[in-house]
Chains A and B, each alone.
Chain A
Amino acid sequence: MDVNELRKNAKVELDGHPYIVTEFQFVKPGKGQGLYKCKLKNMITGSVIDRTWRSGERLTAANVESHKMQFLFASGEAFTFMNTENYEQVEVQADLIGDDKYFLLDGIEAEVLFYNSRPVGVSLPSHIVMDVTECEPGVKGDTATNVTKGATVQTGLVVQVPLFIKKGERIKIDTRNKAYVERVNS
């Protein structure tokens, strides 16, 4: 692609990695060469870099696609997802998923990022409702605010919850920081 196709949110390939343009500034002396000043985020690692291109230069568009996929099952170090549009299945390795494995409920939908047709990342909904499978009873009489206790949900994740949460209840969890958000009345 020509550098003049650079825009905010354009996806380009640099040193074998896909980057997305997060900030973009075009400057040009009237009679001079244009400069395309960009902040770019590595779409896999999240690291941010600054790069400037000059008009006339060429660069490679990153072949990046995102698909809505449903989590089917885990086996060993692989997590299998299915494209909800064409039913194709793909295995995502555990290291790409990390602690997000605690949110992979059967059938949950996630955005799977592909780079050159290889899965390189999974992004979950920001909030997920899960069941409390184990939880100590709240201590009677303790009315202090901001006091929490541990609660285990069906995937084994332990989150800190308020004392009124009981085993068998459903709670909403923020997947970005694994924090309790609220009790869900079902």
Chain B
Amino acid sequence: MSHRPPLSDRQRVDVWDATLHATRSVLRGRGLREVLTPVRLSAVAVEPFIEPIGAAGGLLATSPELPMKRLLARGAPSIFQVAPCFRAAEHGDLHREQFHLVEWYRLDHDADTMRRDVEAVVAAVFEAVSAALEEPAVAAPSTWIEVSAVPLMERTLGVSLRGDEDVAALADALQPVRGALGDPLAAVPHEHLVSSPRAHTLAAWTAFFSTWCDARLDAWLLEQGAVGVHLVEFPTALAALSEVAPSADGRQVAHRFESHVSGRELANGYRELRDAAEQRRRFDDVNVLRDAMGLRPLPLDEAFLSELREPGLPPCAGVALGLERLVLLASARRRLGDVTIELGAPGG
């Protein structure tokens, strides 16, 4: 893919105006209401490798997920938000410490509908950005395919996986690729995790997944060319905040998906986990993993966990899409810094 030169200041204003307008039009047109939730929070979702930035006694939002779910628990209809998000120490062509997620939730829908929404937002923003720039149009994904994550891992690695292995079984299954990939589990602090099997399994799958993305998935995605890819049905340990349930073929899978365009990860969605006890266990597991990796354990969002238990989250699905990355793809620029409005802010 060839890249065009960085946008001028004026083009950035035009492109963001077009992007925000198109995003809101699509989501409102598809029946969602727009909300705002606080950016400074007392706690954020506990993730293995997402580091919040402190803000005068609180934390800046890493995503609007927990506040939006609290709105749903309190009776909100299907909602969306364009949310400023902050993640410490993410610097790169495709990463910024400050960025925007467009995140939305649908009551009584499965992740299928969310994927159609993602496709509609992507198409609309590609069209709006091309029009705003008065440049030759950048082609939006011609079609979208859905690919189950575990079978794709098997195919691209030549190994046999179920997707719910514990550490020992995963290490065994990956034995054939140790030559090609090195030991994907080498960076797992095994000695600190032996007494916490769930956290240990999470650490192993996270390490393997990160290695696989870099060693195989990125190249496979680029081979798909202009076809958008929804990676669906994740290994159970990588459920994050999604529900684990049988897939159509009867395997236990995490009902989580990632949407990729031109090899770039754009969106991450869930059929949302509604079991408060399981949610607390997962946050605790992540904190055990964080501690073992020498990362600071994070406070749990007790208000969220309490409302997840009572009144409880209605059945829903949610997805978050990185707006800067979408603008980057739609304008055929190379790095986020070519399209963002940063004005020298820290973390740019």
Residues of the B chain whose Cβ atoms lie less than 8 Å from the Cβ of A33 = 48-49, 187, 206-207, 210
* Contact of B295 with A by CB under 8 A: yes
- By the criterion CB–CB under 8 Å, are B209 and A30 in contact? no
Task: Name A57's contact: one of B92, B93, B187, B214 (CB within 8 Å).
Answer: B187
Q: Does A34 contact B90, Cβ atoms closer than 8 Å?
A: yes
Question: In the assembly, what is the distance between CA of A92 and CA of B258, in Å?
Answer: 57
Measured between beta carbons, the chain A residues less than 8 angstroms from B295 are 56
- A55 CB–B CB distance under 8 Å: yes
Segment 6-59 of A: residues with Cβ below 8 Å from B: 7, 25-35, 54-58
Are A30 and B268 closer than 8 Å at their CB atoms?
A: yes
Q: Which interface residue of B49, B95, B209, B294 has the most chain A CB atoms within 10 A?
A: B49
Nearest to B187 among chain A residues (CB) is: A54
Give which listed residue, B91, B214, B240, contacts A31 with CB less than 8 A.
Answer: B240
Q: Select A32's contact among B49, B88, B90, beta carbons within 8 Å.
A: B49
Judge if A133 is at the interface, Cβ distance under 8 Å. no
Assess the A28–B49 pair: CB atoms within 8 A: yes
**A32 → B minimal CB distance (Å):** 4
Least CB distance from A13 to B in Å reads: 20
CB distance from B248 to the nearest CB of A (A): 23
A101 to B270, CA, bound (A): 67
Instruction: Place the interface of chain A in its size category.
Output: 10 to 19
CB distance from B297 to the nearest CB of A (A): 14
Which of B92, B206, B240, B265 is the one whose CB lies under 8 Å from A26? B92
Chain A residues with CB under 8 A of B48: 31, 33
Q: Which of B90, B92, B265, B295 has the most CB of A within 10 A?
A: B92
Closest to A37 in B: B214
Whether A32 touches B187, Cβ cut-off 8 Å, given contacts A25-B93, A26-B90, A27-B94, is: no
CB contact under 8 A between A30 and B265, given known A35-B210, A54-B187, A57-B187: yes
Query: B89: which A residues are within 8 A, CB to CB?
Result: 2, 4, 55
CA distance A2 to B95 in the complex (A): 18
Cβ < 8 Å to A, chain B residues 59-106 = 88-95
Q: Are A31 and B47 in contact (CB under 8 A)?
A: yes
**Please, which residues of chain B bring their CB within 8 A of the CB of A57?**
187
A32–B294 touching, CB < 8 Å: no
A4 contact set on B, CB distance < 8 A: 88-89, 91
Q: Is B213 an interface residue (CB 8 A)?
A: yes
Give bound CA distance, A57 to B207, whole Å: 13
For B237-249 the 0/1 string (1 means CB < 8 A from A) is: 0101000000000
Min C-beta distance of B9 to chain A, whole Å = 25
Q: How far is the CA of A55 from the CA of B51 in the complex (A)?
A: 11
Most B C-beta atoms less than 10 A away, residue of A4, A56, A57? A56
CA distance A31 to B207 in the complex (A): 11
Residues of A82-105 at the interface with B, using a CB-CB cut-off of 8 Å, are: none
Q: How far is the CA of A34 from the CA of B210 in the complex (A)?
A: 8
CB of A54 within 8 A of CB of B210, answer yes
- Taking a contact as CB atoms under 8 Å apart, the answer to whether A55 and B49 are in contact is yes
> Residue of A at shortest CB range from B88?
A4
Residues in chain A near residue B268, CB distance under 8 A: 30-31
Convert A50-88 into 0s and 1s, putting 1 for each residue whose CB lies closer than 8 angstroms to a CB of B.
000011111000000000000000000000000000000
Set of chain B residues within 8 Å of A29, measured between Cβ atoms: 209-210, 213, 265
CB distance from A172 to the nearest CB of B (A): 37
Q: Which residues of A contact B161 (CB under 8 A)?
A: none
Given contacts A33-B49, A57-B187, contact A26 B91 (CB under 8 A): yes
CA A186 to CA B138, docked complex, whole Å? 60
How many angstroms from the CA of A29 to the CA of B90 in the assembled complex? 11
Contacts of A31 in B (CB 8 A): 47-50, 206, 209, 238, 240, 268
Q: B293 at the A/B interface (Cβ < 8 Å)? A: yes
Contact A32 B213 (CB under 8 A): yes
A169→B265 CA distance, assembly (Å): 64
- The answer to whether B91 touches A32 (Cβ under 8 A) is no
A84 vs chain B, min Cβ distance (A): 35
**Residue pair B209, A28 in contact (C-beta under 8 Å):** no
Shortest beta-carbon distance from B15 to chain A in Å: 23
Instruction: Give the distance to chain B from A108, nearest Cβ to Cβ, in Å.
Output: 40
**What is the interface of chain B, defined by CB distance below 8 A to chain A?**
47-50, 88-95, 187, 206-207, 209-210, 213-214, 238, 240, 258, 265, 268, 293-295
Please report A residues at the B interface, Cβ cutoff 8 Å. Answer: 2, 4, 7, 25-35, 54-58
Across the A-B interface, the 6 shortest Cβ-Cβ residue pairs: A26-B92, A4-B89, A32-B210, A33-B210, A29-B213, A56-B293
- 30 chain-A/chain-B pairs, Cβ below 8 angstroms: A4-B88, A4-B89, A7-B91, A25-B93, A26-B90, A26-B95, A27-B92, A28-B92, A28-B95, A28-B210, A29-B209, A29-B210, A30-B268, A31-B47, A31-B268, A32-B49, A32-B209, A32-B213, A33-B49, A33-B187, A33-B206, A33-B207, A34-B90, A34-B210, A54-B187, A54-B207, A55-B49, A55-B89, A56-B49, A56-B294
